[in-house]
């Protein structure tokens, strides 16, 4: 009997999803024999699993996708907190997902996703399904893995953006404030900020004081630097907002008519320093396009490891890189946890010792 392997991609997309799918599928064909494997593609993440949007796929479907951005399966956000809640559509989502798994006669379900995806993967594993997760996100905030696929491609794109901002900032003698994705964790801003030579890096893990940010920018200008680059993670808040609860902060932002702090930071900088300041928000550009060479290799390693877990029938786990080695973690050990930048981490210290300011 053929092993029926379901695959879905869930949450925000990123470069490397297709490379990972290809890695798993090719390794399954290679190790188990093409005739012994049937890949079942589930469209649009858990939404597709709930609504039985599944189809048997052919080996040719996985050709030529190593370099392709996005996901050939489609994706959708399906918040974990609503998974066990029956909404207006009156659908018992967990029951429906179990039914699809049964209807499609799956032996295992692969879930490629971030933190929310992994929480639902654990929920499904707790409900008796054979699940294997794969860690995807440009945010790099999945607990228990050194790195996620998609992260380094996004670092490259954000770094290129900062490089380009350098030239225009120099021409115009301006401060450029660049908002980089990362709502809870500042990994992408930290890495691209260092790689792109930012003068100030603001991340959610280190609440900033706008006066300290401006002091640093004024000092740079007094030293004769006619421009500055400020890399801001979209989820940053200042030292006052850091005292507030999440809801209180959201209310304050609503009153101010802002969602992220970036524009407020730019206008405060212009007002306090007197230096002309502009903002740039690359947004979803950071998630688009072809995966970097690093991510192609990582995605392939992760994908092949998932295939090895299938071969060995080791379920309820998610693939990870720990101390540079590819391995896997139990879903129960990582689901619901977030990997944050530690204030005393080596890269933060490196950046600080180089003179990059964090506004603290
Ligand atoms: O997938 C991670 C992420 O890109 C975050 O960095 C960002 O906050 C969020 O997704 C944006 O989500 P959406 O694509 O749903 O707007």
Residue 138 has what pLDDT? 98
Closest CA to 354 of 177, 140, 193: 193
Residue 66 C-alpha to ligand 1 middle, in angstroms? 23
Average of per-residue pLDDT across 188-216: 98
Instruction: Look up residue 237 and give its two tokens.
Output: 């808040």
State whether the beta carbon of 177 lies less than 6 angstroms from ligand 1: no
Residue nearest to atom 12 of ligand 1 (CA): 12
Residue holding tokens 């786990």? 317
Average of per-residue pLDDT across 242-266: 95
Residue 45 has what pLDDT? 98
Say what percent of the chain tops pLDDT 90.
Answer: 99
Q: Are residues 286 and 7 in contact, defined by beta-carbon separation less than 8 angstroms?
A: no
Which atom of ligand 1 lies nearest, measured to the CA of 286? Answer: 4
State whether the beta carbon of 179 lies less than 6 angstroms from ligand 1: no
Q: Are residues 115 and 339 in contact, defined by beta-carbon separation less than 8 angstroms?
A: no
Average of per-residue pLDDT across 263-281: 98
Residue 156 has what pLDDT? 98
Residue 39 has what pLDDT? 98
> What are the pLDDT digits (tens) for 100-145?
999 999 999 999 999 999 999 999 999 999 999 999 999 999 999 9
Measured CA distances, 24 to 96, 162, 299, 305, 326 (Å) = 26, 34, 9, 8, 14
> What are the pLDDT digits (tens) for 21-61?
999 999 999 999 999 999 999 999 999 999 999 999 999 99
State whether the beta carbon of 15 lies less than 6 angstroms from ligand 1: no
Model confidence, pTM: 0.97
State whether the beta carbon of 139 lies less than 6 angstroms from ligand 1: yes
DSSP 209: -
Which atom of ligand 1 lies nearest, measured to the CA of 287? Answer: 4
Mutate which of 9, 10, 11, 12 for ligand 1 pocket (most atoms within 8 A of beta carbon): 12
Q: Active-site residues: which are they? A: 139
* CB burial readout 283-294, b (16+ within 10 A) else e: eeebbbbbbbeb
Residue 285 has what pLDDT? 98
Residue 83 C-alpha to ligand 1 middle, in angstroms? 19
Average of per-residue pLDDT across 184-188: 98
Residue 121 has what pLDDT? 98
State whether the beta carbon of 287 lies less than 6 angstroms from ligand 1: yes
Residue 107 has what pLDDT? 98
Residue holding tokens 């670092």? 155
Residue 198 has what pLDDT? 98
Residue nearest to atom 1 of ligand 1 (CA): 12
Sheet containing 131-135: give its strands across: 54-57, 37-42, 3-9, 108-113, 131-135, 317-322, 325-330
Q: How far apart are CA 281 and CA 289, in angstroms?
A: 17
Q: How far apart are CA 350 and CA 353, in angstroms?
A: 5
Predicted confidence band of residue 234 (pLDDT cuts 50, 70, 90):
very high
Average of per-residue pLDDT across 280-286: 98
Residue 103 has what pLDDT? 98
Residue 174 has what pLDDT? 98
Residue 12 C-alpha to ligand 1 middle, in angstroms? 6
Predicted confidence band of residue 247 (pLDDT cuts 50, 70, 90):
very high
> What are the pLDDT digits (tens) for 50-90?
999 999 999 999 999 999 999 999 999 999 999 999 998 99
Which atom of ligand 1 lies nearest, measured to the CA of 11? Answer: 1
């Amino acid at each position: 009997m053929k092993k029926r392997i379901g695959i879905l991609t869930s949450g925000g997309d990123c470069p490397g999803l297709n490379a990972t799918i290809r890695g798993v599928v090719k390794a399954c064909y290679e190790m188990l024999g093409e005739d012994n494997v049937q890949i079942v593609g589930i469209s649009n993440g858990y939404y597709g699993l709930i609504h039985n949007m599944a189809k048997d796929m052919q080996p040719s479907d996985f050709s030529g996708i190593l370099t392709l951005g996005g996901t050939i399966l489609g994706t959708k956000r399906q918040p974990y907190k609503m998974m066990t809640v029956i909404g207006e559509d009156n659908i018992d989502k967990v029951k429906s997902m179990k039914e699809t798994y049964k209807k499609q006669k799956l032996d295992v379900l692969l879930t490629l996703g971030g933190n929310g995806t992994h929480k639902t993967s654990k929920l499904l594993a707790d409900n008796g399904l054979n699940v294997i997760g794969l860690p995807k996100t440009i945010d790099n905030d999945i607990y228990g893995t050194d790195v996620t696929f998609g992260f380094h491609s996004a670092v490259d794109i954000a770094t290129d953006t900062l490089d380009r901002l350098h030239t225009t900032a120099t021409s115009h003698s301006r401060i450029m404030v660049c908002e980089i994705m990362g709502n809870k964790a500042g990994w992408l801003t930290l890495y691209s900020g260092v790689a792109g030579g930012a003068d100030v890096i603001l991340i959610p893990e280190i609440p900033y004081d706008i006066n300290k940010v401006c002091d640093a920018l004024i000092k740079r200008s007094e030293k004769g630097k006619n421009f500055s680059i400020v890399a801001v993670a979209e989820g940053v808040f200042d030292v006052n907002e850091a005292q507030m609860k999440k809801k209180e902060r959201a209310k304050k932002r609503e009153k101010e008519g802002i969602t992220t702090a970036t524009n407020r930071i730019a206008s405060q900088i212009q007002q306090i320093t007197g230096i002309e300041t502009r903002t740039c928000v690359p947004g979803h550009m950071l998630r688009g396009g072809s995966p970097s060479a690093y991510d192609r290799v990582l995605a392939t390693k992760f994908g092949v490891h998932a295939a090895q877990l299938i071969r060995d029938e080791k379920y309820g786990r998610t693939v990870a890189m720990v101390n540079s080695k590819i391995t896997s973690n139990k879903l129960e050990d990582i689901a619901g946890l977030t990997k944050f930048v530690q204030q005393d981490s080596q890269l933060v210290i490196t950046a600080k010792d180089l003179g990059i300011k964090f506004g603290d």
